[in-house]
Amino acid sequence: MSIDILIDKIRQKNNPSVVGLDPRIEYVPEFIREECYTRCGRNLKGVAQAILEFNKKLIDELCDIIPAVKPQSAYYEMYGVEGIKTLYETIEYARNKGLYVITDVKRNDIGSTAEAYSTAYLGKTQIEGDIYVDAFASDSITVNPYLGTDGIQPFINDCSKYNKSIFILVKTSNRSSGEVQDLMTAGETVYEKIAALVNQWGSQCMGQKGYSNIGAVVGATYPEQAAKLRKIMPNTYFLVPGYGAQGGTAKDVANCFNKDGLGAIVNSSRGIMCAYINKKYEEKEFAAAAREEAIRMRDEILNCII
């Protein structure tokens, strides 16, 4: 099962964290930008190449200490077709380095459209006859649940068919999440009802290590809600955004874990990508700064959950 693969990588690295690759061109050191602009021009292709070089160097520096990366598709889509190519190449490069790739796309729709989204990121696209190819060969993606079971089932089917996983939005880390997710309905919040559905959906594809391929997104910025959700979804792996730049701490994320020290993987994006800026390193040391921050994050989280 895909979730078993992720757990193995977490155990091998002794690190329950994932690095979010959410690059804007201004995060890329100037020397990389200028090299790529010289080759490709000051255009979308030059930007996309600079981001790809940035991503590759970060992956090279981090791949021995982290189990996974999480590229957010919006940060690539904003740079057009060239950005989409960079997303594809980033996924491919990370997987070739042995990393588990969670592509943060937050996709969903009804029926055949949900099937198409799932095919793009989890399944295989048919060219003709028995010729099938990977469009974006992700190990996992994020999914929006607010169209109900018929919008989720195609993703669940592909998880089982292609040995992939998904993380369904339950309680997100943003400040206004409560406007919808905290609404009370029939004595429960919306996020509690979604959690119960995730728990139900997850029973369709359980792994051998006690967790399902159907995971949940639970923000680090809401530790009390996380503790409640952990009880509702005992066999669900949590993808935990909101650590670091959004204000979540290692103590905040502790409630997302089970007593076995498993059950959650914590994301940091800007905190690691931009560590060289935050820690005032020289530009050429950006990858070393990212490594230092990734190790600090790992150790801080482990100290709070073990």
Catalytic residue numbers, as ranges? 106
CB-side exposure of 183: number of CA atoms within 13 Å? 7
295 by Cβ neighbours in 10 Å (0-12 / 13-18 / 19+) ranks as middle
Q: Where are the beta strands (DSSP E) in the chain?
A: 17-21, 68-71, 100-107, 125-128, 131-133, 140-143, 165-171, 184-185, 188-189, 214-218, 238-240, 264-268
The structure tokens listed for 248 are 């979540």
What gap in Å lies between CA 169 and CA 216, rounded to an integer? Answer: 6
In sequence order, the β-bridge partners of residue 216 are: 168, 238
